[in-house]
């Protein structure tokens, strides 16, 4: 004999459908809560990444300023060295010109004792003391 499934009444069908929709709604609410949590975590991670990027850019700007300062320092040192060389050359040129003039006035004069860096101490021409 064939088994006959009992037919559900309209009220039973409605109740069954409501129970299914209620279950689906609970699942959707849980899924939404999970999505909201993940969204909040993503926003937190994004905010942290933005702060990290800003810090990195700040460091990058500081490094750029440090590099510029270093380049300026190198440039200044080169300019200083050029100035020292120019001063030394000027002193040497002046010394040579004065030596030539002295030899014109006194051809037999011993100019080996003369020097722009030498000093007169107690009536004597002497080399300056060595700096420590």
Mean pLDDT across the chain: 86
**C-alpha–C-alpha distance, residues 30 and 38, integer Å:** 12
| Maximum alpha-carbon separation in the chain | 153
Q: Residue 50 — very low, low, confident or very high, per pLDDT cuts 50/70/90?
A: confident
pLDDT at 6 over 80: no
Higher-confidence residue: 101 or 2? 101
Tell me which of 13-27, 55-69, 88-102, 117-131 is least confident: 55-69
User: Residue 1 above 60 pLDDT?
Assistant: no
2 pLDDT more than 70: no
**C-beta separation of 117 from 128 below 8 A:** yes
DSSP state of 119: E
DSSP assignments along 51-106, one per residue: HHHHHHHHHHHHHHHHHHHHHHHHHHHHHHHHHHHHHHHHHHHHHHHHHHHHHHH-
What would the pLDDT profile of 72-102 be if each residue is shown by its tens digit?
998 999 999 999 999 989 988 888 888 899 8
């Amino acid at each position: 004999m064939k088994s006959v499934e009992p037919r559900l009444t309209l009220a039973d069908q409605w109740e069954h459908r409501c129970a299914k929709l209620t279950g689906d709604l609970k699942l959707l609410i849980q899924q939404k809560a999970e999505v909201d949590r993940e969204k909040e975590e993503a926003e937190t991670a994004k905010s942290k990444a933005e702060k990290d990027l800003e810090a990195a850019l700040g460091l990058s700007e500081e490094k750029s300023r440090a590099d510029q300062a270093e380049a300026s320092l190198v440039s200044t040192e080169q300019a200083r060295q050029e100035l020292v060389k120019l001063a030394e050359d000027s002193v040497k040129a002046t010394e040579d010109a004065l030596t030539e003039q002295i030899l014109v006035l006194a051809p037999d004069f011993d100019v080996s004792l003369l020097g722009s860096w030498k000093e007169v101490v107690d009536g004597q021409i002497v080399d300056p003391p060595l700096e420590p």
